[in-house]
Chain A
Amino acid sequence: MEAIERRIEKLRAEVRRATASGDRVRARAMRAELREAEHVWDEALAALEEKSATASSAPVSRSGPLLPIREQVHQALTVLGTPAAQRLIIAVHDAFFGSPLAAARLTSLRRDEERSFRAAPYSRPYYLCAALTADLLAPARGLLAVSTWPMERRVIGPLSPRVNYLEAAIRVAESLLRAPEPGPAAQRLLRRFAVNIPGAGDGAKPRDPQRVAAAARAELEVHSGEDRAVRSEAAARARIQLHDAEQLFGSRIRVIPRTGTGA
């Protein structure tokens, strides 16, 4: 035991010296050894504890409804009714379905969906797909949408991020009204929306959903007209220009990137 701890100390020092002197190669090697040693130490300690037989209760991990991740995301997106980014999807799901979403698995989701679509088009009732940028009809960074939504809803013009945000706020507020007794997570979510919408509420006081929705509608008035114009124009283009897969997952320019010569 002592020996291992001393070794760990020594390795840590080594790694730090290596990184400090910019020697990445050596650092990597040392780090590997260190992790190994730490693992050994952990094992050994664990073994000791087993002997001393401390009946530590097994971890009780909060297990939500065992839906596949795409179902959970679909639920959240359905609440929002607009393309949304990971953070928001997770927050919404947490607020209304009370089970945590594994963020890690979300990142790969869009790629998986695209693969499955290209393998067997339209074999699923819906796909979690991309939102498309209005100008280039390319996938908008980090946004998820539902394939069954009309194209107008899935294209993103310059005003759309704000418009979507306001619409999401309205939807969340309304769902909150419908919910029998909304939990604190839902309350927090609404508050986070309210802070950033003029006239939606003041200070840290819990806000009433109607007021938030009303405020959101008021600002929406300002943007919606112009936004809708851009979106429907883009949607029209998309319907003509893009083939099926692109309709859902966007088109990418493939430029051979010239290697930056520092200039």
Chain B
Amino acid sequence: MTTEARLDRIRGAVPPRNHNARTIAALTSNPGCARRAIMDAAGVDKQRLAACAGFPAPFGQSQFAITRGNAFEAQVKANGCAELLRLLREGLGLPIPEVSYDDLEEVAGNTSRELRHARTRSLLARAAASGADAGTLFDHPLLRLAVAGQQVYLEPDLIAFQLHGQFHVVEMKSFAVIDGQADGDKVAAAATQSAVYVLALRELLAGEGYGPDSVSHEAVLVCPENFSNAPVATLVDVRKQLTVLRRQLSRLERIDSLAELLPPGLTFDLMIDEAGVAFRPAAELTEAIRTVPARYVPECLASCEMCYFCRDEARGTTAALGRDVRDDLGAVETVSAVLGLADGTLTPADEQAEAAAMLQAAARLRRETPGGAA
């Protein structure tokens, strides 16, 4: 059975969840996790799966955040990107004549992705070819990137050209930049997403015979400044994100080696009826999911829809207590082993001898200390 067929079976009788910049970026957040790798490669709807298995993800987006995000983007792009042009001119030295604007969100009233992608390709190619006076701002271009064998469509907020003679990815986010600083995790997420777009754009231009230098590794991040709605632009260097992404994408290409290890019959099909109700028994799902090894760490709680499931599975392991704690416990895998070694009721295997010595010393200190309650 081909890997593709295998992944289709694993996903079950639903169309694959399409990747987007966010999900691709997520590949870098816990790349050691086989469970996640398989599910992402197969395009499984993890949110729904987790819920049906009895562990609904703690996520969900507030509509206030969504509204705010859309409103901000609309504002920055209003009137032929008047505000954006100001930022690019004042902040990044975009020449005055460069105001050309192409709307790629639809092609003559048609929004088919193939059509939009084709048009994006032709316009960007023309711009790249003729350099000057052939397009500066490209609104919602539609790019493509190969992820785990499938072609994924990607839609950056905007692409600017003729900025230092290169294409620049422009990312608009509605989190605030206050006194020149913003939430480091949000910026990191934005940077990784931009990196995804840079990759895709480079792929497109490579197809037209242009080298990677035609796309800058500096993305333009546009956010509201301080507590106002006024936008501010900052250049973000995404070189690191690019190398990481390339590596993780190439590993995803090798997903077959992972898939081969799985039982042939494995599937996460939820048995959804036409009313949209899932009938697959949770117990069955749980069993299926557990056949794919996970690598749970508490950080998953911030990034993966399966986190509650995996956390429950990881109860009693030191990993569930966090990387540092596991380190401090000498990389002993389970809590029971830790305590067994600490109070000497468990005879350490050779490789545990040192950990045991350390844990016993710790236990003794806690015991000896009045109030240590060990």
Contacts and interface: CB of A to CB of B under 8 A. Distances in A.
Interface in A229-263: 250-255, 257-258, 260-263
Nearest to B74: A87
Contact of A85 (B79, B107, B133): B79
B107 A253 contact: yes
Interface stretch (A45-53, A137-145, A174-182): A137-145
**Size category of the binding interface on chain A:** 35 or more
B47 interface: yes
Given A164-B80, A251-B108, A252-B109, A22 B47 contact: yes
B86 interface: yes
A165 B56 contact: no
Interface centre among B82, B83, B96, B105 (most CB of A within 10 A): B82
A155 to B, nearest CB: 14
Interface centre among A21, A198, A258 (most CB of B within 10 A): A21
Nearest to B95: A222
Given A158-B101, A252-B108, A25 B275 contact: yes
B297 interface: no
Contact of B114 (A88, A253, A258): A258
Contacts of B15: 261-262
Contacts of B276: 24-25
A165 B81 CA distance: 10
Contact of A165 (B74, B82, B106, B153): B82
A7 B336 CA distance: 46
Contacts of A19: 60
Given A21-B56, A263-B151, A162 B89 contact: no
B328 interface: no
A257 B110 contact: yes
Contact of B102 (A85, A139, A158): A158
B99 A162 contact: yes
A262 B16 CA distance: 6
A174 B48 CA distance: 58
Contacts of B51: 20-23
Contacts of B135: 158
Contacts of B85: 162, 196
B373 interface: no
Interface residues of B, number: 45
Contacts of A140: 103
A109 interface: no
B249 interface: no
A44 interface: no
Given A88-B79, A222-B96, A226-B133, A138 B48 contact: no
B13 to A, nearest CB: 14
Interface in A87-141: 87-88, 133, 136, 138-141
A223 to B, nearest CB: 6
B279 to A, nearest CB: 13
A260 B111 CA distance: 11
A198 B79 CA distance: 15
B147 to A, nearest CB: 10
B96 A25 contact: no
Contacts of A257: 110-112
Contacts of A33: none
A208 interface: no
B295 interface: no
A32 interface: no
Contacts of A162: 80, 82, 85, 99, 101
A204 B330 CA distance: 61
A165 B108 contact: no
Contact of B97 (A88, A161, A198, A222): A222
B110 A161 contact: no
A253 B110 contact: yes
A195 B86 contact: yes
A159 interface: yes
A19 to B, nearest CB: 7
Interface in B272-328: 275-277
Nearest to A24: B276
A258 B116 CA distance: 12
A61 to B, nearest CB: 25
Given A252-B109, A258-B112, A159 B89 contact: no
Interface in B116-170: 133, 135, 150-151, 153
Contacts of A24: 276
B43 A262 contact: yes
B108 A136 contact: yes
A194 to B, nearest CB: 11
A219 interface: yes
B9 interface: no
B82 A196 contact: yes
A165 B43 CA distance: 44
A198 B150 CA distance: 46
B96 A252 contact: no
A95 B86 CA distance: 23
9 contacts: A25-B276, A88-B78, A141-B106, A159-B99, A195-B83, A196-B79, A251-B108, A253-B110, A257-B111
Leading 8 A-B pairs by shortest Cβ distance: A161-B80, A138-B108, A162-B99, A158-B100, A252-B109, A257-B112, A21-B56, A196-B82
